Amino acid sequence: MKNEQFEKDIEGVTTIFNELTVVEVDGEKFLRGELPIVDANNNEWAKYHIEVKGSDSYPFSFPKLFETADAFPHNADWHVYEDDFSCCVDYPANAKIICKNGLHVSDYINNYAIPYFANQTFRIREGYYRHGEYSHGIFGKIEYYQSKLKAKIPAELLEMFRFILQDYNPPRTAECPFCHKVKFRHCHRNVFKELGYAKDYIYQDGAQLLAFFKIYPDYKLPT
């Protein structure tokens, strides 16, 4: 997807990642080449053939990352979107939060693309992801939000979503409506503010979770 800011930013990226080059196809400029994955001793673990393309709202969203040599299966189980086969580098809501102030493509490659491929390399060798992973589908959404919000029951998780969408911001001395006996600013305030940068996902995911919990009213949240 053509993005003028992205096309401007990639001009300097090849001086940092010298195995990537700027190419132009059908009027769109993007990065193409190889990305080596090395350990702390500069030993090469693997080398991936990749393309990095602009996204519709870059730099306030991740660029589109593609692995182009079929080094691993291109499906959801390997964290690849099956609609366009781009790499799922992070949970979408979290990616939105990361990019809230803008994210340069070179920082994206260094801080997110390289760790993504290092994780894939570990799984290829060992059969599992070193630091675990979220489940797929609705269960992954629940795990992600629970890792942030630590709700006790599904109804409380949904209530937290409502508070986030309403920009809940009580006085400094107010008690947290979820933890009780703890001031809100000492427990949930920061995470509410953080997730507030991803309200579009909070709204969409909240609707899906509401429907799920109606079907499974006795569902136990992960701890």
Interval 100-127: pLDDT, tens:
999 999 999 999 999 999 999 999 999 9
Closest by CA to 78, choosing from 11, 128, 4, is 128
Residue 164 pLDDT exceeds 90: yes
pLDDT at 41 over 90: no
Order of strands across the sheet with 44-53? 20-25, 28-38, 44-53, 64-67
Rounded Cα distance between 155 and 14, Å, is 49
pLDDT band at 223 (very low <50, low <70, confident <90, very high): confident
Per-residue confidence (pLDDT) for residue 1, from 0 to 100: 66
pLDDT at res. 209: 97
Are the beta carbons of 139 and 205 closer than 8 angstroms? no
Averaged pLDDT for residues 129-135:
85
Which two tokens mark 206?
Answer: 């909240």
